[in-house]
Amino acid sequence: MAQAYKAETDSGSSRPERQGSPLRRFVDGWRGDRGIWRRGLVTAGFAVVIGLVMLVHAQIPNGVGNLGSLTETFLPWLGLFVPVLLVIAVVRKSATALIALLLPVIVWLDAFGGLVTDKSGSGGDLTVATHNVNADNPDPAATARDVAASGADVIALEELTSAAVPTYEKALAGTYKYHSVQGTVGLWSKYPLTGTKPVDIKLGWTRAMRTTVTTPKGEVAFYVAHLPSVRVKLDAGFTAGQRDDSADALGEAIAHEKIGKVVLLGDLNGTMNDRALNAVTSQMRSTQGAAGDGFGFSWPASFPMARIDQIMVKGVEPVSSWTLPRTDSDHLPVAASVDL
């Protein structure tokens, strides 16, 4: 009888251990398993490579297919590999892979963690917006009204066609008394414009302009630019040479600007991480990076993957930055509020 009772007691006492919490069973499954250090070496290697790419992306050469610029354009998306590798590491029961994953996690958070939080404030002296309206836009009037609905004091439009310009002018005339179109870019303002002129960005035709907007808080130099498009081709890689030359020319023009307060609006066909835009980004701040909520991706409008439409400032303090609802363009409009 005593032996039977003991057996029953032992059986009862072991049942709760087998039915412990999932975390307990998970830990018990790893405890004493010497293979956790030998398994998942390939996964660990991938994690280290991803972390190193994000850490030393500036050292990736552009000599072959502009690989460095291509990597920097989509750099934040490398973080998507982390949860995938994490799942593999857990399934494989690999402590080595889990430790290796610390590298890409730390590097990504250091580079992009600040963009995840909301840094936007309230107020501001001036609200500005920019939009690549798409030359093939089927409804320019509606697009113009949608952008004007943002309440912006100054609006820049890119990829304007000569046939569509009158439509944009008519749709915006009631809100914006002053405007100028130079080539395929234009600027509409509630405040007077002076000193308006095209900016030579080495293309042979006009895709950039400069003007002075006289706001209630003083003069602000505005630049509107649409840098050349880039393409990814199997035989040539990331074809961005013409854009890079235009970025250098635009940066030189801004560097020689005599007014201390400068706002750049436009489609730069590149992100703030892309070293090829250094002539511009080294002297100006991105409103999205300084006062945005999230990454503010603007292209393509159907599934935004990169912020290539930029609002950048010099001598001006960003207050908030955001993307506007989709129009009939393949880009999203972007807007920002600034203190002068």
Taking only the tens place, the pLDDT of each residue in 233-248 is: 555 456 677 899 999 9
Residue 238's pLDDT is: 61
Q: Can you tell me the distance from the alpha carbon of 4 to that of 98, in angstroms, rounded to the nearest whole number?
A: 47
Mark which of 116, 135, 163 sits at the end of a domain.
Answer: 116
101 shares a domain with 242 = no
Tell whether 4 is covered by a domain. Answer: no
How many other C-beta atoms lie within 10 A of the C-beta of residue 31? 8
48 shares a domain with 190 = no
- Average pLDDT value for residue range 243-269: 97
Q: Are 108 and 135 in contact (CB under 8 A)?
A: no
- Average pLDDT value for residue range 265-286: 96
CA dihedral over 228, 314, 276, 78, signed as positive or negative: negative
- Average pLDDT value for residue range 99-124: 93
52 shares a domain with 152 = no
Q: Which domain holds residue 300?
A: 126-339
Confidence of residue 13 (pLDDT cuts 50, 70, 90): very low
| CB half-sphere exposure, 313, CA atoms < 13 A | 24
81 shares a domain with 168 = no
Q: Give me the number of domains the chain comprises.
A: 2
Tell whether 181 is covered by a domain. Answer: yes
88 shares a domain with 62 = yes
149 shares a domain with 112 = no
**pTM of the predicted structure, to 2 decimals:** 0.86
